[in-house]
Amino acid sequence: KNQVEQSPQSLIILEGKNCTLQCNYTVSPFSNLRWYKQDTGRGPVSLTIMTFSENTKSNGRYTATLDADTKQSSLHITASQLSDSASYICVVSAEGGGADGLTFGKGTHLIIQP
């Protein structure tokens, strides 16, 4: 069964500090991996999308890495801001899976304290 596991479940850091969120998956065959940011009371918004051949992709202060061999991804946030407080969701798409081929992780709840 395809699974996506995220860690930690929750994380509290001080404003200005860096942090790294982890995502491990067992989805096969792999197509792509997405990171979403979900603010409280809002729908998820896409941060990055990575394919098998991409090791690193950045979006401002967000940098995602992918190791397709070990089936692991990480999302690194640099110089955190209060607006980074949100849930971060890892989503893996299976090759040929179509519209129902996405597996969602449970998310990491990140709190940035002033």
Partner 1 sequence: NAGVTQTPKFRILKIGQSMTLQCTQDMNHNYMYWYRQDPGMGLKLIYYSVGAGITDKGEVPNGYNVSRSTTEDFPLRLELAAPSQTSVYFCASSYPGLTPHRSQYFGPGTRLTVL
Give the shortest CB-97-to-partner 1 separation in angstroms. Answer: 8
State which of positions 51-90 bind partner 1 (CB under 8 A). Answer: 51, 89
Nearer to partner 1, 37 or 80 (CB): 37
Q: Show the binding pattern over residues 12-41: x = contacts partner 1 (CB under 8 A), - = does not.
A: -------------------xx-x------x
DSSP string, the chain: ---EEEE-SEEEEETT--EEEEEEE--SSEEEEEEEEE-TTS--EEEEEEETT-SEEEETTEEEEEETTTTEEEEEE-S--GGG-EEEEEEEEETT-GGG-EEE---EEEEEE-
112 binds partner 1 (CB under 8 A): no
